[in-house]
Amino acid sequence: MINRLKDLLFNNRSIKQTVAKNVFWLSVSEIASRIFRGVIIIYAARVLGAAGYGVFSYALGLAGFFTIFLDVGLTAILTREAAQKPSQKSEYFATIFWMKTVPLMLTVAVVIFIAPYFSNSH
């Protein structure tokens, strides 16, 4: 039974089975991610208290806002180019990695050094 389940969830045998397997893994990852996020937020609310949770929520909101601008379609470009030229996928990956890392570091600097001036919590 376990070997059959492993074969179903880890090996591609047909188009229908591959689609079902991918739907299963995407669903499991979404559910696990939401449960983990919920636990972290509940824990943060209990540990930080009302004022501390407000600052935490503010930081999460800023991070979510800046995340929108971080990808800018680079993942789709990486996927397309890596599928067209598999021999160069490591070069594409490295380029996209740095194209995402530099704005991420700038965003972190903005959140740490400039964002506190937008609120009364500094």
User: What is the DSSP annotation of 37-106?
Assistant: HHHHHHHHHHHHHHHHHHHHHHHHHHHHHHHHHHHTTHHHHHHHHHHH-GGGHHHHHHHHHHHHHHHHHH
Q: Can you say whether the dihedral through the CA atoms of 115, 67, 103, 29 is positive or negative? A: positive
pLDDT of residue 55: 81
3-class DSSP state for residue 110? helix
pLDDT tens column, 14-24: 888 889 899 99
Q: How confident is the model at residue 120 (pLDDT cuts 50, 70, 90)?
A: low
Model pTM above 0.85 = no
3-class DSSP state for residue 22? helix
